[in-house]
Structure 1
């Protein structure tokens, strides 16, 4: 079955009814996400081989655009999943790429720092082959529902850069606090805390200190396109927050380019 036919089937049978429930009761559209996985639509942009034919942004944008009217919560989950999967496709290990490609693995982005309360400061400390990540991330779509997070931290080295990690949702030390009143519960957008979470050094996605460049090259084009197809009323929460963080005094060069591109998308 072609992906348009598969999407039409899932929209009719699962997503539209789940979307109504998500809107009325604020429930995460788990049935819709699982159906998208079984239909091969979560794995639409990934392959098991680095040189495969995945990363089809146009197809992902079409899926998000068609899902949005039926269930905005599912569309938001897809935006974050496809953007995170672009990093996995480029830098993840073979097993993880295979799980995403098979539709068995939901990814999401955890790349925006939450400075509220100042109780958890973002750090990355390596001891042998293990890295302890400590942070409080906000605007995480599918928080507590995704299988893994594309997670940002300060570099393990001393260059002051940013590093990305693949953090399993079941890792000890990772938790989702109670969601505040008024939070968009249907897409499970919330804060995620690592206090700390320990991951193997091999969980690094890309090169230490090159995370911000990866956000620019791999994540930004996906978020801009996937937000563009659904209009300004459904801009992914990470896009605006990343634009604000990128334009801060600590960010120069690539950060300013990110802020400018993101700001254009938010007009």
Structure 2
């Protein structure tokens, strides 16, 4: 069963068909073993770059696909439906390109963006620190200007692609002001930059997550994106798009779990009929379908706002919160539908359930999303009550 989609162009329809075919033939056969052995599939990202997936939402002049977010996010869904670690990786890579595209000079963009979008350079996003996850302004990593170079010292935590990335989009403090943070593109082979031992995670084990240690890492001034002090603004602007990426991955993951549950329910028999024909089980599947479609609808609404150049931060937070909460519920129900088999590693739904959990945490926990939404509501209404909205 595949998701029903209404796409804006015939080109987008063909693109989705291509990605679905690639995911089925190239990704699906490898996913279970790579996750079990905690193997990072660097060659998969190279392949996705070659077929144009890594640069889909960026302009063609820099080697991107020139696709609207509405299409790009549905591509992410198709990937995540068979291999969430890769879906998350594509989203993180797109986020690592965001600062260069939005704040880089024309020279910087033409120098680095084509290789990033083409998959020759795989990126990582280095904002969080061990003590500064939901509060990035509390970061302690520093970048001190020394002639025509910055000297960076500190440590970054929870870095997707850590130890495998070719560069890190890294935020560091350039002044004592709380928001005195700047953004840098740091090559992974820069002396003094070391990836720590990968985290031992519950799920997404095919995706490496590490801390990054920075000891007198010297970065040329030309690798700073934007002006000094703009780093936090760049980071937070990118997070809105990143939240949509994770919402798409969570929706794809939930779709994959639903597909497994429906297929099993059509084949498994109990009391003389298929279990899908038992009302109790059928209702569970119906609720799962409603959850997946609701998440997709919210995700695409936020994407269309972004594509129109309209504010979408609140909607991105809603999409991230709804999609990831729904994915946790859908994957848990998928395990229940398969019963004892769902709890074994013979079927992928137990892995889907483990993978869904972290999606409620990264790119801003869902508690943070609720704070963002509440503040947006306060700003929208300015505390005023009228007859029309009372």
The answer to whether the superposition gives a TM-score over 0.5 is yes
CA distance in 2 between partners of 1:197 and 1:3 (Å)? 41
Equivalent position to 1:211, from 231, 252, 266 = 231
What does residue 49 of structure 2 align with?
37
What does residue 313 of structure 2 align with?
none
What does residue 363 of structure 2 align with?
239
Q: Could you say what secondary structure the match of 1:199 adopts?
A: strand
Deviation at 1:176, TM superposition (A): 0.9
Higher RCO structure (Cα 8 Å, ≥6 apart):
1
Deviation at 1:9, TM superposition (A): 3.6
Greater fraction helix = 2
CA distance in 1 between partners of 2:153 and 2:360 (Å)? 24
What does residue 16 of structure 2 align with?
4
Asked if structure 2 preserves the Cα contact closer than 8 Å seen for 1:115 and 1:136, the reply is no
CA distance in 1 between partners of 2:120 and 2:374 (Å)? 30
Deviation at 1:114, TM superposition (A): 2.2
What does residue 16 of structure 1 align with?
28
What does residue 74 of structure 2 align with?
62
Residue range with higher mean Cα deviation, 85-94 or 227-236: 227-236
Counterparts in 2 of 1:25-174, with a 5 A limit? Answer: 25-47=37-59, 49=61, 54=66, 56-92=68-104, 93=108, 94-115=110-131, 121-155=140-174, 157=175, 159-160=177-178, 161-174=180-193
Q: Please give the TM-score of this superposition, normalised by the length of structure 2.
A: 0.56
CA distance in 2 between partners of 1:262 and 1:21 (Å)? 42
What does residue 372 of structure 2 align with?
260
**Cα 1:212/1:121, change in 2 over 3 Å:** closer
**Cα 1:225/1:166, change in 2 over 3 Å:** same
Q: Please give the TM-score of this superposition, normalised by the length of structure 1.
A: 0.80
**Cα 1:18/1:259, change in 2 over 3 Å:** farther
Q: Deviations over 1:83-134 (max 9, x none)?
A: 2222222123111112123332222211001249xxx951111111010111
CA distance in 2 between partners of 1:115 and 1:96 (Å)? 31
CA distance in 1 between partners of 2:32 and 2:142 (Å)? 41
Asked if structure 2 preserves the Cα contact closer than 8 Å seen for 1:243 and 1:263, the reply is no
Runs of 4+ that moved beyond 6 A? 241-244
Equivalent position to 2:244, from 225, 247, 252 = 225
CA distance in 1 between partners of 2:246 and 2:375 (Å)? 12
Residue range with higher mean Cα deviation, 208-217 or 177-186: 177-186
What does residue 202 of structure 1 align with?
222
What does residue 248 of structure 1 align with?
none
Deviation at 1:152, TM superposition (A): 0.4
May I ask how many residue pairs the two structures share in their alignment?
246
Deviation at 1:4, TM superposition (A): 2.4
* Higher Cα radius of gyration: 2
Deviation at 1:25, TM superposition (A): 1.3
Deviation at 1:262, TM superposition (A): 11
Asked if structure 2 preserves the Cα contact closer than 8 Å seen for 1:45 and 1:86, the reply is no
CA distance in 1 between partners of 2:123 and 2:373 (Å)? 24
Deviation at 1:220, TM superposition (A): 1.8
Q: Deviations over 1:185-219 (max 9, x none)?
A: 411011111112111011111111011111222x1
Q: Could you say what secondary structure the match of 1:186 adopts?
A: coil
**Cα 1:135/1:243, change in 2 over 3 Å:** farther
